[in-house]
């Protein structure tokens, strides 16, 4: 091609500019056709599963991957000057010095899947590896067959990791080659052999040099916070390796702390790393039910010292050291807390064959908990222990703190306090079946002597202890106020009597008395208790109940909500001179952050306020740097970093750049008036390129109140129970999400009063196709969607997930996940009947869809799973068989062995597909799938899902 001469260049430039103008003026769709979201998008849409910031604030890590695929670990400098990527990395952590990232490497999912299809044994499936990323140069060391690791909190030099049992040293002695003098084990001796834990290899590695030290048969291990010591417990089948050992990490020297056949458990170091405690049953191991002893060891000692065992002074008669009780030191190391428990009766000798054994549950009206609750809690109750303390500086004196009638004990000042708070709900356990919230008694316990006195009785809130132990606080539902009581005596003080605004949640519409707006906690020295009203933060003085407005009324004046943000989980008390506050704008739903101080005398200082939702920031331990996410309907919650003033904000992740290739849509807030005269808000999601002159099908979803989620991002994913708003908007639907306030006794009518006028308001705009409106809800929303279609034929199709259809039978049902009676839900909580079946029988009938199912004209899809622990699945069955008997179009999906919703990815994806097919058929004229037209007979279960569309047969010609 000839090179243009100079006289041609101006004309060519003019022509190029003209072409560019045409391109820029063309519709966006002409430049790049945007795709509607489909179910294949799940495979390319990433989620951030874990994230962390290094102690020095210089590095951030996060795991990125699709819901059902291999994740990738990203490690990036806070200034974005460097980035490392590790395939399939997860469970990652920075070393304390910021020199390394330690993580696990999962095997590729496709290789695991292939092994499963080949029926590989579980123990032979591909294993995790350990990854060690050096931040200085990005080099990665990979160690195969690792099951877990630990690193010290305050020393970046070491990692300890456990190898899979396949890496254990093999016993090479063949069968029949017993050592000389070793006799064959008798059957009786084999039967008496204890079921011992068998350890696996533990490796201690120096990160800088790669030097390693290996220890066999390890069952448990712990570092000191400073990393100077590593302790581990070992156990093997013949007991030859059993014991507790301490390793001085700098030299590798190993000290046997205690050895001998037995079980060793609950290793615990104090904060300074100068003391080790553990439990062992070595000295009683030969007994049928050996007793455990609490041991103590300090570096330099020749052997561990026994501190407490059965019969030790201070442990109640007939009690012993609890095998399952956790060990922890007070912060100053002068106290060691452990658990005791009444010694159980000996296990009787088994003389009854299994087929002759009586298996029976005896239900008694006097039982504190319903039998189903007892069964659900049996394992935890069998492992329950009662807190006791060893005063190490006082000759090892043992004091029992918790008892069977006061089972829960919390010690003030991180274990150093002079008092403890004892909590008991034992006298009120029957009430949880029909009353809510639960009731408690509170006791002040002297940690030195164990003496106690009851200071609160039957309060309907669990009291808390102030950090220094000077006060108890609780929420009084009758007075709708916060109270404090000095632990050294006196009378309760109303902390919020001087607050001129309500401190209870004013939109509360459940039958029980309202909750508080909440509290931030105590300032240093137990000086003030910080509580909230709707807008502002108040500091209440526990001595006289006076309260000052920390935020100077600025929240109320600006229609904002201020709440304290805790940036240091290790500090129990709040620094009154440095308060970071989150802010929420009630009008715009914008969020941001302000800074303030107690007693500043000036309005809070605004740091940032944006039309985004922010996560709670995470602060680097040793630097003034924050890590957080921010999101909007358009913007994925990527990771951002900033200084403590949120300046400048820098985005560190770009999880889903492919979003630009898809139709997404918009969201806006809408308002209308309910049938009972209440101004309500809701959200309306619109398709991309929305044209008000066109008519669109519309989906309606609701669950109590959702309008505060205006700026929430909805990534395309198969949800466990509800429609994905973005997915439906992308495919041409409007999605309406109305708020619902409730009137006690009339939950169904409340939904009608709120939802139907909201829908008709949108129908009146002209851009909603009134013949193509669907409704979907799950659980409480599922009940309401079922109720709505008994009252209105406005909807062309409805889905009801895990619905209560018959409040009478549901009232007497069980929440199988917890074993609780469902009565409390109707009398006091979400179902909002406000009385028992005998007090309000008509309300139970009037609010139950089953009794007016003959009025339903809307095709209904039900999803209810046979292991639902919240709503018994017979509630879905009752509604299904009623509509089937009435000849109404109804389908029910039951994911076998699943709880209140699908939990596995394949089931969630299947459910998302079925809902889309159902609504597309009725609202988009799409062909019905086979499962809707032909069903899936039991004989075809597992052979077909019935998802294929069935085209209607052509009309026959005469």
Mark residue 350 as left, alpha or beta (left: phi above 0; alpha: psi -120 to 50; beta: remaining).
Answer: beta
Q: Are 807 and 790 in contact (CB under 8 A)?
A: no
pTM comes to 0.92
Average pLDDT over residues 779-793: 98
Q: What angle do CA 642, 716, 630 make, to 5 degrees?
A: 15
pLDDT given at position 879: 98
**What is the C-alpha to C-alpha distance for residues 856 and 848, in angstroms, rounded to an integer?**
13
Task: List the one residue out of 111, 91, 3, 18 whose CA is nearest residue 51.
Answer: 91
**What is the C-alpha to C-alpha distance for residues 808 and 802, in angstroms, rounded to an integer?**
16
pLDDT tens track for 273-287 = 999 999 999 999 999
Show the tokens assigned to 117: 């299809």
Distances (CA, A) of 587 to 252, 509, 584: 62, 21, 9
Please count the other Cβ atoms lying within 10 Å of the Cβ belonging to residue 907.
19
Average pLDDT over residues 569-591: 96
Show the tokens assigned to 406: 């006061």
Show the 3-state SS of 527-595. Answer: CCEEEECCCCEEEECCCCCCEEECCCCHHHHHCEEEEEECCCCCCCCECCCCEEEEEEECCCCCEEEEE
Average pLDDT over residues 866-879: 97
Phi first, then psi: give them for residue 576, nearest 5 degrees.
Answer: -70, -15
**Is 538 a residue whose pLDDT tops 70?**
yes
pLDDT given at position 955: 58
Q: For residue 57, what are the contacts with CB-CB under 8 A and spacing of at least 6?
A: 78, 620, 622, 623, 624, 625
Q: Are 560 and 590 in contact (CB under 8 A)?
A: no
DSSP state string for 803-856 = ----HHHHHT-EETTTTEESHHHHHTSTT---S-TTT-HHHHHHT-GGGGGGG-
pLDDT given at position 840: 97
How many helices and strands, by DSSP H and E, does the chain display? Answer: 16, 55
**Is 766 a residue whose pLDDT tops 80?**
yes
pLDDT tens track for 621-633 = 999 999 999 999 9
**Is 516 a residue whose pLDDT tops 60?**
yes
**What is the C-alpha to C-alpha distance for residues 294 and 264, in angstroms, rounded to an integer?**
10
Average pLDDT over residues 415-444: 97
Average pLDDT over residues 170-193: 44
pLDDT tens track for 550-567 = 999 999 999 999 999 999
Q: Which residue has the higher pLDDT, 951 or 493?
A: 493
Read off the pLDDT band of 855 (50, 70, 90): very high
**What is the C-alpha to C-alpha distance for residues 402 and 389, in angstroms, rounded to an integer?**
10
Cβ-based burial of 556 (10 A; exposed 0-12, middle 13-18, buried ≥19): middle
pLDDT given at position 644: 97
Cis peptide before 437 (omega within 30 of 0): yes
Specify the length of the chain in residues. 958
**Is 170 a residue whose pLDDT tops 70?**
no
Task: List the one residue out of 197, 236, 190 whose CA is nearest residue 217.
Answer: 236
Task: List the one residue out of 758, 750, 803 whose CA is nearest residue 776.
Answer: 803
**Is 99 a residue whose pLDDT tops 90?**
yes
Show the tokens assigned to 927: 């062909």
**What is the C-alpha to C-alpha distance for residues 244 and 73, in angstroms, rounded to an integer?**
36
Read off the pLDDT band of 123 (50, 70, 90): confident
**What is the C-alpha to C-alpha distance for residues 926 and 924, in angstroms, rounded to an integer?**
5
- The per-residue pLDDT of the chain, averaged, comes to 93
Mark residue 619 as left, alpha or beta (left: phi above 0; alpha: psi -120 to 50; beta: remaining).
Answer: beta
Phi first, then psi: give them for residue 673, nearest 5 degrees.
Answer: -110, 130
**What is the C-alpha to C-alpha distance for residues 878 and 890, in angstroms, rounded to an integer?**
12
pLDDT given at position 193: 57
pLDDT tens track for 43-58 = 999 999 999 999 999 9
Task: List the one residue out of 402, 533, 411 whose CA is nearest residue 469.
Answer: 411
**Is 636 a residue whose pLDDT tops 90?**
yes
Q: Are 145 and 166 in contact (CB under 8 A)?
A: yes
pLDDT given at position 638: 98
Read off the pLDDT band of 349 (50, 70, 90): confident
**What is the C-alpha to C-alpha distance for residues 735 and 762, in angstroms, rounded to an integer?**
11
SS3 271: coil
Strand 481-486 to 493-494 pairing: antiparallel
pLDDT given at position 4: 37
pLDDT given at position 954: 64
pLDDT tens track for 3-34 = 334 433 343 333 333 333 333 334 444 446 89
Task: List the one residue out of 209, 271, 210, 283 whose CA is nearest residue 243.
Answer: 283
**What is the C-alpha to C-alpha distance for residues 609 and 594, in angstroms, rounded to an integer?**
9
Show the tokens assigned to 378: 């049996």
Show the tokens assigned to 919: 């609504």
Kindly state the percentage of the chain with pLDDT values over 70.
93
Q: Using CA atoms in the order 741, 742, 743, 744, what is the torsion angle rounded to 10 degrees?
A: -150
pLDDT given at position 17: 39
Q: Using CA atoms in the order 426, 430, 434, 435, what is the torsion angle rounded to 10 degrees?
A: -20
In the sheet with 696-701, reading across from the earlier edge strand, the strands are: 666-673, 679-686, 734-738, 696-701, 768-778, 797-801, 860-863, 890-893
pLDDT given at position 350: 81
pLDDT tens track for 65-91 = 999 999 999 999 999 999 999 999 999
**Is 221 a residue whose pLDDT tops 90?**
yes
Show the tokens assigned to 280: 């062992």
Phi first, then psi: give them for residue 871, nearest 5 degrees.
Answer: -120, 115
Average pLDDT over residues 302-328: 97
Average pLDDT over residues 931-942: 95
């Amino acid at each position: 091609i000839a090179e243009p001469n100079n006289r041609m260049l101006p004309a060519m430039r003019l022509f190029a500019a003209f072409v560019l103008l045409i391109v820029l003026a063309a519709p966006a769709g002409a430049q790049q056709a945007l795709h509607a979201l489909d179910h294949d998008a799940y495979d390319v849409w990433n989620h951030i599963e874990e994230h962390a910031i290094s102690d020095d604030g210089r590095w951030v890590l996060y795991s990125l991957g699709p819901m059902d695929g291999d994740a990738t670990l990203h490690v990036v400098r806070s200034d974005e000057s460097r980035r490392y990527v590790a395939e399939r990395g997860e469970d990652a952590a920075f070393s304390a010095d910021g020199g390394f990232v330690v993580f696990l490497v999962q095997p590729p999912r496709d290789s695991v899947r292939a092994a499963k299809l080949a029926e590989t044994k579980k123990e032979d499936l591909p294993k995790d590896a350990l990854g060690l990323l050096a931040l200085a140069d990005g080099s990665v060391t990979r160690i195969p067959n690792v099951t877990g690791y630990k690193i010290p909190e305050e020393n970046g030099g070491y990692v300890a990791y456990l190898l899979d049992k396949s890496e254990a040293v093999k016993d090479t002695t063949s069968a029949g080659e017993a050592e000389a003098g070793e006799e064959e084990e008798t059957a009786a001796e084999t039967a008496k052999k204890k079921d011992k834990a068998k350890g696996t290899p533990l490796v201690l590695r120096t990160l800088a040099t790669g030097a390693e030290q290996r220890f066999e048969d390890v069952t448990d291990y712990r570092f000191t916070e400073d990393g100077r010591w590593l302790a581990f417990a070992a156990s093997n089948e013949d007991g030859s390796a059993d014991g507790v050992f301490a390793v001085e990490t700098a030299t590798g020297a190993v000290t046997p702390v205690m050895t001998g056949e037995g079980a060793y458990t609950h290793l615990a170091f104090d904060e300074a790393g100068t003391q080790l405690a553990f439990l062992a049953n070595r000295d009683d191991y030969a007994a049928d039910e050996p007793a455990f002893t609490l041991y103590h060891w300090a570096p330099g000692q020749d052997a561990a010292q026994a501190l407490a065992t059965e019969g030790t002074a201070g442990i109640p008669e007939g009690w012993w050291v609890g095998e399952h009780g956790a060990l922890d030191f007070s912060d100053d190391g002068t106290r060691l807390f452990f658990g005791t428990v009444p010694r159980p009766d000996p296990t009787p000798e088994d003389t009854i064959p299994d087929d002759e054994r009586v298996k029976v549950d005896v239900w008694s009206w006097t039982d504190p908990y319903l039998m189903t609750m007892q069964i659900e809690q049996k394992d935890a109750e069998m492992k329950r222990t009662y807190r006791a303390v060893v005063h190490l500086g006082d000759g090892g004196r043992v004091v029992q703190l918790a008892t069977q009638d006061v089972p829960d004990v919390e010690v003030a000042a991180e274990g150093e306090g002079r008092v403890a708070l004892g909590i008991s709900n034992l006298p009120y356990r029957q009430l949880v079946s029909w009353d809510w919230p639960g009731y408690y008694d509170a006791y002040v316990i002297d940690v030195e002597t164990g003496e106690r006195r009851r200071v609160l009785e039957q309060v309907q809130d669990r009291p808390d202890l102030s950090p220094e132990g000077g006060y108890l606080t609780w929420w009084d539902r009758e007075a709708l106020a916060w109270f404090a009581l000095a632990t050294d005596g006196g009378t309760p003080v109303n902390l919020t009597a001087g607050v001129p605004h309500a401190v209870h949640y004013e939109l509360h519409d459940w039958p029980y008395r309202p909750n508080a707006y909440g509290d931030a906690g105590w300032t240093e020295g137990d000086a003030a208790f910080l509580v909230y009203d709707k807008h502002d933060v108040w500091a209440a003085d526990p001595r006289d109940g006076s309260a000052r407005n920390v935020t100077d009324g600025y929240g109320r004046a600006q229609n904002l909500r201020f709440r304290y943000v805790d940036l240091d989980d290790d500090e129990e008390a709040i620094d009154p001179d440095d308060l970071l506050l989150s802010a929420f704008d009630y009008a715009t739903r914008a969020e941001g952050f302000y800074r303030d101080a107690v007693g500043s005398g000036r309005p809070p200082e605004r740091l940032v306020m944006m039309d985004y939702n922010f996560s709670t920031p995470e602060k680097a331990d040793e630097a003034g740097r924050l890590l957080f996410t921010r999101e909007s309907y358009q913007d994925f919650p990527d990771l951002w970093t900033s200084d403590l003033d949120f300046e400048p904000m820098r985005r560190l992740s770009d999880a889903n750049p492919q979003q630009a290739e898809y139709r997404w849509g918009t969201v806006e807030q809408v308002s209308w008036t309910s049938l009972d005269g209440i101004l309500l808000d809701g959200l309306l999601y619109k398709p991309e390129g929305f044209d008000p002159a066109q008519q669109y099908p519309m989906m309606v979803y609701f669950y109590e109140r959702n309008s505060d989620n205006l700026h929430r991002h909805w990534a395309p994913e198969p949800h466990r129970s509800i429609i994905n708003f973005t997915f439906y908007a992308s495919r041409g639907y409007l999605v309406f999400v109305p708020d619902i306030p409730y009137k006690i006794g009339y939950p169904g009518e409340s939904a009608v009063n709120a939802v139907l006028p909201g829908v008709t308001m949108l129908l009146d705009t002209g851009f909603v196709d009134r013949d193509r409106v669907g409704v979907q809800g799950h659980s409480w929303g599922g009940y309401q969607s079922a109720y709505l279609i008994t009252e209105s034929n406005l909807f062309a199709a409805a889905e009801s997930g895990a619905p209560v259809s018959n409040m009478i039978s549901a009232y007497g049902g069980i929440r199988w996940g917890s074993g609780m009676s469902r009565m409390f839900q109707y009398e006091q909580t979400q179902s909002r009947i406000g009385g028992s079946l005998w007090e309000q029988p008509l309300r139970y009938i009037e609010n139950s869809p089953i009794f007016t199912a003959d009025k339903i004209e809307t095709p209904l899809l039900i999803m209810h799973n046979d292991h639902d622990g919240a709503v018994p699945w017979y509630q879905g069955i009752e509604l299904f068989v009623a509509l089937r008997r009435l000849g109404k179009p109804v389908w029910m999906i039951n994911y076998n062995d699943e709880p209140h919703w699908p939990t596995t990815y394949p089931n969630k994806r299947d459910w998302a597909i079925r809902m889309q097919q159902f609504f597309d058929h009725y609202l988009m004229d799409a062909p019905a799938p086979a499962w809707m037209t032909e069903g899936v007979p039991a004989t075809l279960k597992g052979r077909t899902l019935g998802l294929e569309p069935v085209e209607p047969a052509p009309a026959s010609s005469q």
